[in-house]
């Protein structure tokens, strides 16, 4: 398949490399001036959770990077792995030059599809949630790869979703197809928001996971955020990841705390995927503000999340 990836950031580079390795024609559209710096490729240090692949890969992703789209080149799928608050701007620039290409919006979406659909019809796009991540360290992309979740914003898995799933499966990337992908994304957004806010106040992973009180508060914050999602009409019983956060069982909550601590401290995949946690103050504040604003509008009590407000404001000031 002929695939365009917008940018050469963490997520786009991981999936772009995996697809290119399987013979797909992958092109990365990068900002003017960036292409020169990528002419020798991206050093990659990958922890690979795909079945049948060596666990550790080190090499160079010799990506095909362009700084402008040629009218003569057509793409079947355009992958847009950008921050959700930048999505409208990026689509406004790309869609007019995209011909009949279909889009995988590999990003979050908390505010709904109306504004996005006014730029790109819903029939031409699906959403995705990356099960990959990492950070650039000394010019090397230190990352992890496992899977990807895909689906249309609303309704049952579309033909586009199935086609995209086949594409990623061809690279041995485990895929899960979802109905009502927007609801799935809201659940992930809520869980991330609660945990992220608690982590920011703690100041580091060591301080966070070494403090049982901070961990318990993080679970309660995520629980408050999930109540916001439920108030938006989402059936949380459809999402197993929400169950341990909503339970009233003290034992199950303690098990959840233990599992979270173990994963973030000892599981290489989780450690690499979370390495960016302190990297983008704008993203952190956007997540927090979205949950608080929506929660207030829907009358959801969020005392624990609100208690993190000052820490979030201090952290977000680093972006200015």
List the structure tokens of 260.
């979270």
Quick: pLDDT tens for 173-221.
999 999 999 999 999 999 999 999 999 999 999 999 889 899 889 999 9
Residue entry with tokens 């450690």: 271
| The CATH fold of domain 183-319 | 1.10.1040
Please name the CATH architecture into which domain 2-179 falls. 3-Layer(aba) Sandwich (3.40)
R_g of the chain, CA atoms, integer Å = 20
**Main-chain phi, psi angles of 113, to 5 degrees:** -105, -5
All CATH 1.10.1040 domain ranges in the chain, comma separated: 183-319
Q: Quote the strand ranges of 84-200, DSSP E.
A: 102-105, 125-137, 140-151, 174-177
Q: Judge if pTM exceeds 0.85.
A: yes
How many other CB atoms are found less than 10 A from the CB of residue 103? 25
CB 236 within 8 A of CB 230: yes
Quick: pLDDT tens for 240-282.
999 988 988 888 878 887 888 888 888 899 999 998 889 899 9
**Main-chain phi, psi angles of 5, to 5 degrees:** -110, 125
All CATH 3.40.50.720 domain ranges in the chain, comma separated: 2-179
95: confidence class by pLDDT, cuts 50, 70, 90: very high
Residues with Cβ < 8 Å from 213, sequence gap 6 or more? none
Write the DSSP string, 232-265: TT--GGG-GGGHHHH---HHHHHHHHHHHHHHHH
List the structure tokens of 239.
């999402």
């Amino acid at each position: 398949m002929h695939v365009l990836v917008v940018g050469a950031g963490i997520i786009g580079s991981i999936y772009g490399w995996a697809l290119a390795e399987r013979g797909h024609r992958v092109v990365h559209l990068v900002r003017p001036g960036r292409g020169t710096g990528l002419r020798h490729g991206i050093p990659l240090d990958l922890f690979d959770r795909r079945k049948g692949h060596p666990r550790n890969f080190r090499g160079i992703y010799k990506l095909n990077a362009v700084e402008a789209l040629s009218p003569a080149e057509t793409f079947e799928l355009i992958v847009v792995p950008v921050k959700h608050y930048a999505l409208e701007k990026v689509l406004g620039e790309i869609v007019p030059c995209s011909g009949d290409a279909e889009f995988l919006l590999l990003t979050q979406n908390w505010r709904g599809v109306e504004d996005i659909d006014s730029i790109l019809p819903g029939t031409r796009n699906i959403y995705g949630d990356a099960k990959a991540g990492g950070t650039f360290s000394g010019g090397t992309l230190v990352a992890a790869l496992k899977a990807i979740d895909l689906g249309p914003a609303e309704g049952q898995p579309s033909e586009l979703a199935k086609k995209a799933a086949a594409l990623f499966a061809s690279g041995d990337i485990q895929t899960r197809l979802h109905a009502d992908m927007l609801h799935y994304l809201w659940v992930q957004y809520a869980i991330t928001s609660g945990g992220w806010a608690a982590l920011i106040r703690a100041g580091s992973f060591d301080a966070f996971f070494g403090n049982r009180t901070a961990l318990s508060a993080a679970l309660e914050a995520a629980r408050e955020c999930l109540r916001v999602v439920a108030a938006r009409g989402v059936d949380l019983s459809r999402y197993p990841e929400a169950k341990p956060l909503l339970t009233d069982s003290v034992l199950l909550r303690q098990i959840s705390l233990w599992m979270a601590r173990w994963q973030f401290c000892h599981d290489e995949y989780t450690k690499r995927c979370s390495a960016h946690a302190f990297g983008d103050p704008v993203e952190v504040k956007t997540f927090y503000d979205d949950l608080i604003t929506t929660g207030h509008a829907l009358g959801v009590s969020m005392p624990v999340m609100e208690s993190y407000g000052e820490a979030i404001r201090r952290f977000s000031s680093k972006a200015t």
